[in-house]
């Protein structure tokens, strides 16, 4: 039934005995304003279906300067937070009848630049940049290319940005941890993981400090170990810490889920009593975390909200370089009997 070679509007035009432009209009919906008779439209549509016609969006894009492609730069897919972002982006993009193009760039400056350039070559209609390591340069590239863009998670000086309220989240988590501690052990809390040069980590450290201040404590620099976002480095950093101070601190603020996994790798090797005596919290959410017997308060970033607001900027053609804060939620541990 279906034709073997790709059909074009010309083929259909011939078959229907009309002109190509009529077919084009009939098939892309503009027939209404072109006042083409419902009859011809029906006939054309029927033939199109019969021969299995599909538009060539490349051609349409070339002509109309809109591709229907929305790009996203993402550090990685295989991470709970970022994959949620990707999922939300996919969903939102779909409702706009467009196609999501997600490129993962491992927080690598060169890969990011290359990816943005690539997406520009493909004439994406807009770009969302998540957790990039070098926002300002990337923003500049987008602006030069006249490409609507918005930053998520890691803000950019010169473009609209949507970011979790990291400071507030860190404050809440720190409070929760301090509440679990004995009063006299307050000074003994530590901050583990993340990259102090990045906006997110920086603000979380600030929130951490502020919360301590509320408890009349000044955080020493040694209490903050920003060992990166990696799993293994965090495990090793914690091991080293444990050795040098001959034991765990009374509380542990772990920055990000990857670091949490690393920390757990080390912690599971310790005697249970030692770990039980330490309050542990994580800035990021994983359902498994809250299924551990040890109670773990966790901060969940609202991926859906972040993406929704970011898209709002794009929809409204907003290029104002202002930052929107999204409040993350503190998830308190449930009581676990088994496991």
CB within 8 A of 156, min separation 6: which ones?
Answer: 129, 132, 135, 136, 138, 139, 321
Burial class (CB in 10 A: 0-12, 13-18, 19+), 206: middle
306, two tokens: 């972040």
Shortest separation between residue 173's beta carbon and its own copies, angstroms: 19
Question: Is position 319 an interface residue for its own copies (rule: CB under 8 A)?
Answer: no
What length does the chain have?
339
Q: Which is nearer to its own copies, 32 or 94 (CB)?
A: 94
Which DSSP helix (H) or strand (E) runs through 72? strand 69-74
- Between 58 and 337, name the residue whose CB sits nearer to DNA: 58
Interaction between residue 56 and its own copies (CB under 8 A)? yes
Question: What does 240 interact with, of DNA, its own copies, none (CB < 5 to 8 A by kind)?
Answer: none
Residues 226-245 that bind its own copies (CB under 8 A): none
Q: Which stretch binds its own copies (CB under 8 A): 83-91, 127-135, 175-183, 206-214?
A: 83-91
Q: Does residue number 83 form part of the binding site for its own copies (CB under 8 A)?
A: yes
| C-alpha span between 229 and 155 (Å, rounded) | 18
Contacting positions for DNA (CB under 7 A): 6, 8-10, 17-22, 24-25, 27-28, 30, 34-37, 39-40, 55-56, 59-60, 62-65
Q: Does 316 bind its own copies (CB under 8 A)?
A: no
Q: Residue 17 touches which of its own copies, DNA, none (CB < 5 to 8 A by kind)?
A: DNA
Helix (H, G, I), strand (E, B), or coil: what is residue 156? coil
Distance CA 53, CA 55 (A): 7
SS3 330: strand
Burial class (CB in 10 A: 0-12, 13-18, 19+), 289: buried
Return residues touching its own copies (CB under 8 A).
Answer: 2, 4, 6, 52, 54-59, 61-62, 67, 69, 76-80, 83-84, 86-87, 90-91, 94, 99-104, 117-123, 144-146, 261, 264-265, 267-272, 274-276, 286-289, 291-294, 334, 336-339
């Amino acid at each position: 039934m279906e034709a073997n070679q790709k059909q074009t509007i010309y083929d259909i035009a011939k078959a229907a005995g009309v002109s190509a432009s009529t077919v084009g209009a009939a098939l892309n919906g503009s027939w209404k304003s072109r006042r083409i008779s419902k009859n011809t439209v029906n006939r054309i549509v029927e033939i199109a279906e019969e021969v299995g016609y599909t538009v060539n969006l490349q051609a349409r894009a070339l002509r109309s300067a809109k591709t229907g492609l929305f790009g996203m730069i993402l550090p990685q897919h295989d991470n709970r937070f970022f994959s949620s972002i990707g999922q939300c982006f996919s969903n939102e993009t779909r409702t706009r009848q467009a196609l999501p193009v997600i490129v993962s760039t491992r927080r690598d400056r060169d890969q990011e630049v290359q990816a943005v350039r690539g997406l520009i070559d493909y004439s994406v209609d807009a770009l969302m940049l998540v957790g990039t390591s070098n926002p300002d340069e990337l923003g500049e590239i987008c602006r030069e290319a006249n490409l609507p863009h918005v930053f998520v998670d890691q803000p950019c000086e010169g473009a609209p940005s949507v970011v979790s309220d990291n400071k507030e989240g860190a404050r809440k988590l720190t409070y929760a941890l301090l509440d679990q501690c004995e009063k006299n052990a307050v000074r003994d809390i530590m901050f583990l993981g993340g990259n102090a040069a990045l906006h997110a980590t920086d603000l979380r450290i600030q929130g951490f400090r502020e919360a301590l201040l509320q408890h009349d404590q000044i955080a020493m620099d040694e209490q903050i170990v920003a060992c990166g976002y990696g799993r293994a480095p965090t495990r090793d950093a914690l091991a080293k810490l444990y050795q040098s101070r001959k034991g765990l601190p009374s509380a542990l603020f772990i920055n990000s889920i990857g670091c949490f996994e690393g920390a757990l790798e080390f912690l599971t090797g310790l005697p249970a009593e030692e770990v039980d005596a330490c309050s542990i919290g994580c800035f990021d959410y994983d359902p498994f975390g809250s299924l551990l017997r040890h109670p773990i308060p966790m901060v969940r970033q609202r991926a859906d909200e972040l993406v929704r607001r970011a898209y709002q900027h794009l929809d409204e053609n907003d290029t104002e370089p202002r930052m929107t804060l999204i409040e993350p939620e503190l998830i308190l541990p449930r009581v676990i009997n088994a496991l």
